Amino acid sequence: MPDVAAKIGVPADALIPYGFDKAKIAAPFLKSLAGRPDGALVLVTAVNPTPAGEGKTTTTIGLGDALNRIGKRAAICIREPSLGPCFGQKGGATGGGHAQVIPMEDINLHFTGDFHAITSAHNLLAAMVDNHLYWGNAQNIDPRRVVWRRVMDMNDRSLREMVTSLGGNGAPAESGFDITVASEVMAILCLSKDLEDLQARLGRIIVAYRKDRTAVTCADLKADGAMTALLKDAMQPNLVQTLEGNPALIHGGPFANIAHGCNSVIATTSALKLADYVVTEAGFGADLGAEKFFDIKCRKAGLSPKAVVIVATIRSLKMNGGLAKNALATEDLAALERGCENLGRHIENIRLFGVPAIVAINHFVQDTPAEIATVKAYAQAMGSEAILCRHWAEGSAGTEDLARRVVEIVERGEAKFAPIYSDDLSLLEKIETVARRIYRADGVVADKTITDRLARWEKEGFGALPVCMAKTQYSFTTDPTRLGAPTGHEVRVRDVRLAAGAGFVVAICGDIMTMPGLPKVPAAEGIGVNADGNIEGLF
């Protein structure tokens, strides 16, 4: 690990080892980087996901390796995997083939304990809310207006809605669980610049409302200090390596369909001080992850990305064109051309933010020359370029062309990044801007209770916050079955939540759930430990 750290100038005494193959980078060293210039930030995003797979993380790792291969000092910044998808349907999030980060099993499971710390800090606050009510309620909390739920890092649909305090342990109340990656504490950790900022943000969390409708915060309950203590080590970024021995910072992990979908600000900003090129990713398709990366993370952290890579597979594009999964191995240029409209929409959307975009075709062996040529021609017609990448099979050697093209784009200095809405728009106008400009919706549907709540938050001083759209990842619409690039739809906002500590307002759209469920055949059924003590079936 010291040799890997040395590649980006991190000395051995700045590492906090977790075994032999992973470490945290100590906070005092990170603070010492403040005066250094920033490298170039490159975002990897993708078309809307399908069961055929896109390979965004794999491409991120392959590009980082390839940049190092061509002589650039590059680092990778990605999110930590959640246990929910690992044991559910998606599997792990450490790449694949010859483009992986290691140790794969550790990263996909408990890693360095960051998610457990976030879960504990979140649930400590929930326990302190209930305890405050039990011991007399000095803050005059209205028990009907407690808004702080509990979390766990597992898909468990039975916990979505529940009743607490049965059996005489206080006043029974309706509550529920979200998955840890949807926790505001996760978002706060990922958006905080240091421990002081972390505690201030934790203190601003709204946990309940009094009978006069004024907010009760985490600081009112004096929980922010203990929560910071639980998160002290978790705030330090994790350093691991790719299969080719290049540095990768893996830190934080909010989902993009229900949260803001980016790794931590502290990992990204530190990497920018340590490397000439930093390759990061944002979750799911560009309509979710990239939009939130630009409108939330970059806005809050003052980041200015220089290039975007949009990952697509020919398989996923054919599915977006209406082809069934069992027919993807067959050449179908008509379905591919229809599916390319999804890619085209994402190319157009990235341009709205003023950042040049290039397409990475994540190669599968079934791809035919005619299909590859079709995607390349489509990207060119859209004013972009598509480059075939074979990092899964060949590692960095298979992604050299993409790396060289990214360097050319960055060195031309064409990026003029700006979010797509200003702080001074109303919260509803921000939601409508994303819906109309990114999703191409005709409008937003929200009942009076939603619009009244947004108006009240604006009066309370939260009107300048950005919005975080919680929506299905499979479609530009709120209907996961509408693939491609649909128009003529409306975005139904079912609920809104104020994340005062994280600094955004969550708009829950359609039927999206903040606590996912397991599929009919969960991946957990195939995971185990063999006779040699090695984990098998984790992917």
- Strand 99-102 relative to strand 490-499: parallel, antiparallel, unpaired? unpaired
Q: Is 59 a catalytic residue?
A: no
- Which phi and psi (to 5°) does residue 411 adopt? -70, -25
User: What's the token pair of residue 274?
Assistant: 């340590």
CA distance 489 to 482: 10
In the DSSP assignment, the letter for residue 256 is T
Which of the following is catalytic: 45, 50, 58, 119?
A: 58
Q: Is 79 a catalytic residue?
A: yes
Residue 221 contacts residue 136 (beta carbons within 8 Å): no
User: What's the token pair of residue 535?
Assistant: 């984990």
- Strand 206-210 relative to strand 443-445: parallel, antiparallel, unpaired? unpaired
Which of the following is catalytic: 7, 69, 73, 90?
A: 90
Q: Is 500 a catalytic residue?
A: no
> Amino acid identity, residue 268?
T
Q: Is 135 a catalytic residue?
A: no
Q: Is 90 a catalytic residue?
A: yes
Does residue 461 sit in helix, strand or coil? helix
Residue 41 contacts residue 225 (beta carbons within 8 Å): no
Which of the following is catalytic: 111, 364, 462, 476?
A: 364
- Which phi and psi (to 5°) does residue 46 adopt? -160, 170
Residue 513 contacts residue 78 (beta carbons within 8 Å): no
Radius of gyration of the chain (CA): 23
- Enumerate residues 6+ apart whose C-beta is below 8 A from 20: 1
CA distance 329 to 397: 25
Which of the following is catalytic: 66, 187, 208, 256?
A: 256
Which of the following is catalytic: 24, 56, 150, 315?
A: 56
Q: Is 72 a catalytic residue?
A: no
- Which phi and psi (to 5°) does residue 154 adopt? -160, 145
In the DSSP assignment, the letter for residue 168 is S
DSSP of 431-491, one letter per residue?
A: HHHIIIIIS--SEEE--HHHHHHHHHHIIIIITT--EEEE--SS-SSS-TT--SS--S-EE
Which of the following is catalytic: 148, 293, 392, 457?
A: 392
Which of the following is catalytic: 22, 79, 338, 492?
A: 79
Which of the following is catalytic: 111, 284, 293, 462?
A: 284
Q: Is 307 a catalytic residue?
A: no
Q: Is 476 a catalytic residue?
A: no
Catalytic residues, which ones? 56, 58, 79, 90, 256, 284, 364, 392
